[in-house]
Amino acid sequence: MSEPILELRGLKASITEQPDIQLLKGLDLTIRPGEIHALMGPNGSGKSTLANTIAGSPSYTVDEGQVLLKGEDITEAPADERARKGVFLSFQYPTPIPGVTMVNLMREALKARRGAEVPAREFLQELRETLASLKMSEDMARRYVNEGFSGGEKKRAEILQMGLLKPDLAILDETDSGLDVDALRTVAEGVQALRRPDMGVLIITHYERILSYIEPDYVHVLVKGQIVKSGGFSLAKEIEAGGYDPILKELGLLEGATA
């Protein structure tokens, strides 16, 4: 078997400003090249915390355990170093950056990822192609990053960056939230078109619907900072049909349930 892209070993993490609030309580996860993993779970289960912790957000601090990228321990690495090594986070709520155009950001980001200047012609060529696979206009690239973007535009802009930066690991944090059916299809098809065969993907979602466009190899259920159940695509369908309660009940985790 090939070397994993991502390995989480007994990962525990808390909020940096409130160290007594631990949100991830011992998480193990292995993603190999080409695999698509879906992480599902009720609100407050720690899904976004996990996404941000893998990406190196200073808002969270790892208390215990390790994050390995292609075998290398990146637990202590700052976010920018992780990104240059191939981690990409598609944000649930992409931040507006006033005065900085998409083109400007992507040019700098691509330069950082490749560790070398990218010739203007080559950059524009790649940008055009990537825009096209997301059915985005070139005007979009001239706008300020995430400023005044609609929900769908924000998510497409994230996937656009993924397509250009060609990461080894893409974490899609609720990329489906806030999108109508058409926007969801465009984004999902964009992910499929731009996904490299050896890329590892971690899709974080509430709902099964994005998974019907991007079928996962594995589905994990996260509850209170721990993966309580893993399975195939059928697990996502189970959740879609019956919600989380039957699983929680089965595992004896349903709070307030009377026997």
Interacting residue with other proteins among 144, 207, 213, 233 (CB under 8 A): 144
Interacting residue with other proteins among 9, 15, 57, 153 (CB under 8 A): 57
Let me know: does 13 contact 22? Beta carbons within 8 Å: yes
Number of residues located near other proteins, criterion CB under 8 A = 31
Shortest distance (Å) from residue 245 CB to other proteins? 34
Maximum distance among all alpha carbons in the chain? 67
Q: Is residue 41 a contact residue for other proteins (CB under 8 A)?
A: no
**Which parts of the chain are beta strand (E)?**
6-15, 18-31, 36-40, 60-69, 72-73, 87-90, 169-173, 200-205, 218-223, 226-231
Q: Is residue 70 a contact residue for other proteins (CB under 8 A)?
A: no
Which is it for strands 36-40 and 200-205: parallel, antiparallel or unpaired? parallel
Say which residue the tokens 């466009």 belong to: 213
Residue ranges in 93-112 that form contacts with other proteins under rule CB under 8 A: 94-100, 104-105, 108-109, 112
CB atoms within 10 A of CB 55: 20
Q: Which is nearer to other proteins, 110 or 239 (CB)?
A: 110
Which window, 32-40, 72-80, 197-205, 227-235, contacts other proteins (CB under 8 A)? 72-80
Give the Cα separation of 228 and 251 in Å (integer): 8
Q: Is residue 83 a contact residue for other proteins (CB under 8 A)?
A: yes
Give the Cα separation of 99 and 64 in Å (integer): 39
For 107, the token pair is 């040019």
Angle in degrees, CA 234, 235, 236, rounded to 5:
90
Q: Which is nearer to other proteins, 118 or 228 (CB)?
A: 118
Q: Which is nearer to other proteins, 55 or 221 (CB)?
A: 55
Stretch 112-141: interaction string toward other proteins, x if CB under 8 A: xx----------------------------
Q: Which residues bind other proteins (CB under 8 A)?
A: 55-59, 78-80, 82-84, 88-89, 91, 94-100, 104-105, 108-109, 112-113, 144-145, 161, 165
